[in-house]
Amino acid sequence: MTDAPDTALSPDAFSSDVAIIGAGPAGLMAAEVIAAAGRSVAVYERMPTPARKLLLAGRGGLNLTHSEALDAFTTRYGAQAPLFADLLAAFSPADLRDWATGLGIETFVGSSGRVFPVQMKASTLVRAWLRRLEGLGVTLHTRHRWLGWDERGALRFQRGDGSETTVAPRATLLALGGASWPRTGSDGAWTELLAARGVDIAPLRPSNMGFEVPWSDHLRERFAGQPVKSVGLAFADRRLKGEFVVTETGIEGGAVYALSAPLRDAIEREGWAALTIDLMPDLPESAIAKRLRRRGAESLSTFLKKSLSLTGPRAALLREFTPASELSDPAALARHIKGLSMVLTGVRPIERAISTAGGIRLAELDASLMLTRLPGTFVAGEMLNWEAPTGGYLLQGCFAMGARVGKGMLGYLGG
Ligand SMILES: Cc1cc2nc3c(=O)[nH]c(=O)nc-3n(C[C@H](O)[C@H](O)[C@H](O)COP(=O)(O)OP(=O)(O)OC[C@H]3O[C@@H](n4cnc5c(N)ncnc54)[C@H](O)[C@@H]3O)c2cc1C
166-196 residue pLDDT tens: 999 999 999 999 999 999 999 999 999 999 9
CA of residue 217 to ligand 1 center, whole Å: 36
Ligand 1 pocket, mutate which of 173, 186, 356, 383 (most atoms under 8 A from CB): 186
Kindly give, in sequence order, each residue whose CB lies less than 8 Å from that of residue 359, ignoring residues fewer than 6 positions away.
Answer: 178, 201, 202, 204, 382, 383, 384, 385, 386
CA of residue 254 to ligand 1 center, whole Å: 19
Average pLDDT over the chain, rounded to an integer? 95
User: 93-103 pLDDT, tens per residue?
Assistant: 999 999 999 99
Counting residues of the chain whose pLDDT is more than 70, the rounded percentage is: 96
Ligand 1 pocket, mutate which of 53, 143, 369, 387 (most atoms under 8 A from CB): 53
Q: Write down the pLDDT at residue 4.
A: 43
Single-letter amino acid code for the residue at 221 = E
Q: How far is it, in rounded angstroms, from Cα 18 to Cα 380?
A: 14
Kindly give, in sequence order, each residue whose CB lies less than 8 Å from that of residue 152, ignoring residues fewer than 6 positions away.
Answer: 168
CA of residue 129 to ligand 1 center, whole Å: 16
Superfamily of domain 11-207+356-413: FAD/NAD(P)-binding domain (3.50.50.60)
The domains of the chain are located at: 11-207+356-413, 211-347
Kindly give, in sequence order, each residue whose CB lies less than 8 Å from that of residue 186, ignoring residues fewer than 6 positions away.
Answer: 22, 24, 53, 176, 177, 178, 179, 180, 382
Residue 209 in contact with ligand 1 by CB distance below 6 A: no
Strand partners, 277: 233, 340
pLDDT class of 8 with cuts at 50, 70, 90? very low
Tell me how crowded residue 117 is: count the other CB atoms within 10 A of its CB. 22
Residue 180 in contact with ligand 1 by CB distance below 6 A: yes
User: 294-333 pLDDT, tens per residue?
Assistant: 877 889 999 999 999 999 999 999 999 999 999 999 999 9
Residue 208 in contact with ligand 1 by CB distance below 6 A: no
Tell me how crowded residue 372 is: count the other CB atoms within 10 A of its CB. 11
Q: How far is it, in rounded angstroms, from Cα 381 to Cα 247?
A: 30
Residue 116 in contact with ligand 1 by CB distance below 6 A: no
Q: How far is it, in rounded angstroms, from Cα 191 to Cα 364?
A: 14
DSSP string, 28-69: HHHHHHHHHTT--EEEE-SSSSS-HHHHHHHTTT---EE-S-
Ligand 1 pocket, mutate which of 395, 399, 405 (most atoms under 8 A from CB): 395
Radius of gyration of the chain (CA): 25
Strand partners, 343: 274
Q: Write down the pLDDT at residue 289.
A: 95
User: Which 3 state secondary structure label does DSSP give 210?
Assistant: coil
CA of residue 186 to ligand 1 center, whole Å: 6
- The b-or-e profile of 81-107 (16+ CB within 10 A means b, else e) is bebbeebbeebbbebbbebbeeeebeb
Residue 172 in contact with ligand 1 by CB distance below 6 A: no
Residue 377 pLDDT > 60, yes or no? yes
Q: How far is it, in rounded angstroms, from Cα 318 to Cα 123?
A: 42
User: 225-270 pLDDT, tens per residue?
Assistant: 999 999 999 999 999 999 999 999 999 999 999 999 999 999 999 9
Residue among 360, 74, 322, 356 nearest 187 (CA): 356
Closest ligand 1 atom number to CA of residue 52: 49
What's the CA angle centered on 252, arms 251 and 256, to 5 degrees? 100
Q: How far is it, in rounded angstroms, from Cα 415 to Cα 411?
A: 8
Q: Write down the pLDDT at residue 1.
A: 57
Residue 283 DSSP code: S
Compute the average pLDDT of residues 25-45: 98
Closest ligand 1 atom number to CA of residue 27: 25
- Angstrom distances, CA of residue 43 to CA of 27, 38, 50, 286: 8, 15, 10, 62
CA of residue 178 to ligand 1 center, whole Å: 7
Nearest CA to ligand 1 atom 26: 381
Q: Write down the pLDDT at residue 415.
A: 61
Q: How far is it, in rounded angstroms, from Cα 393 to Cα 383?
A: 15
CA of residue 268 to ligand 1 center, whole Å: 25
Phi/psi-derived region of residue 51, left when phi > 0, alpha when psi is between -120 and 50, beta in every other case = left
Residue 24 in contact with ligand 1 by CB distance below 6 A: yes
Q: Write down the pLDDT at residue 298.
A: 86
Residue 357 in contact with ligand 1 by CB distance below 6 A: no
Closest ligand 1 atom number to CA of residue 392: 11
Closest ligand 1 atom number to CA of residue 383: 26
Residue 353 in contact with ligand 1 by CB distance below 6 A: no
Residue 338 pLDDT > 90, yes or no? yes
Residue among 241, 208, 211, 220 nearest 317 (CA): 220
Compute the average pLDDT of residues 7-26: 74
Residue 389 in contact with ligand 1 by CB distance below 6 A: no
Residue 62 in contact with ligand 1 by CB distance below 6 A: yes
Nearest CA to ligand 1 atom 51: 354
